[in-house]
Amino acid sequence: MNPEEQGPARPPSSPWLRYLQAGIVPRLAVIVLGVPCLYAITRRGGMYFLVLVNLIILLGLREFYELLAAKGYRPYKLLGVICGLALTWHVYRGGAALSLLLTLTLMAVMIRELFRREMTQALVNIAVTVLGVLYVGWLGSHLIMLRELPSAVGIPYAIGAKLVFFVALVTWANDIAAYLVGIALGSHLLSPRISPKKTVEGAVGGLVAASGVGLLCALGFLPFVSATAGALLGLGGGVAAQLGDLVESLLKRDVGIKDSAGLIPGHGGILDRFDSLLFTGPLLYYYFRFFVV
């Protein structure tokens, strides 16, 4: 999530006090404890990274379907979770029959609706179940595809970890900078219809940080990416991250809640934390897949 949701309306106090009031301490605690674990698992790759992404998708789908249930929809939660996780396992094994799996997913959800006792909102129930599979499961599967990209194209496996690090660093740089700049300087609303507390200043700060981190990554550990390309990729990743955050904000606003869950202190739920990666992951995967490696 682009967490500068603390808003432009801030009390006349020091920036440090505003950060404390915005919950920066639990955010920092999660970062200090969580980032080293994510780093170690990503470097290891293989089944370890697959299980990590599976856990994120499992919890994310659970939150997504709870959002829909709060709106009055009746998605097939278990079926959606099974189909979403099947996508990750399939792409991990090479994804040769992806079209078949997507076809079976759609058909399974539609057939399942035939057995519901109440024949109301059938179209909506099918649509929201499939949306969860595609939004959380399919978009999230691109993290697996990115980590396993070296195996698919015949380059050293360790490069896959560097690609994932690049995506994560660009995304989190955008999120953190948008959060800090938005709290300290934010005064112009970015999209009041969707997220009334996001600011233009925060968005610009996030994009600048994402571009700068992309440049540093290219200079530091991605020698096959030029400095200019790294900066531009960082900028594009920042745009994708903010769009992903706005999409989830739109869904939450439609339902009428602030956070998708309270699982992560200071961050909300899994979707609140990883919604940006659901957009940056696919964007940068396809760039690296078709234009770099």
Domain coordinates in residue numbering, the chain = 15-292
At residue 44, what are phi and psi to the nearest 5 degrees?
A: -70, -40
Cβ-defined contacts of 159-162 (< 8 Å, 24+): 159/293, 160/45, 161/42, 161/43, 161/45, 162/221, 162/222
**3-class state of residue 72 by DSSP:** coil
At residue 268, what are phi and psi to the nearest 5 degrees?
A: 90, -130
At residue 197, the pLDDT reads 80
At residue 95, the pLDDT reads 78
At residue 9, the pLDDT reads 47
At residue 179, the pLDDT reads 86
At residue 159, the pLDDT reads 96
Average pLDDT, 10 consecutive residues per value, the chain (293 residues): 47 58 61 82 96 95 91 93 95 88 95 87 93 97 96 93 96 91 85 86 96 96 94 97 93 77 58 92 96 81
Q: Where are the strands (E) in 112-271, listed by range?
A: 189-191, 195-199
C-beta of residue 52 within 8 angstroms of C-beta of residue 38: yes
Q: Which of 184, 148, 183, 177 is nearest to 235 (CA)?
A: 177
**3-class state of residue 210 by DSSP:** helix
At residue 25, the pLDDT reads 62
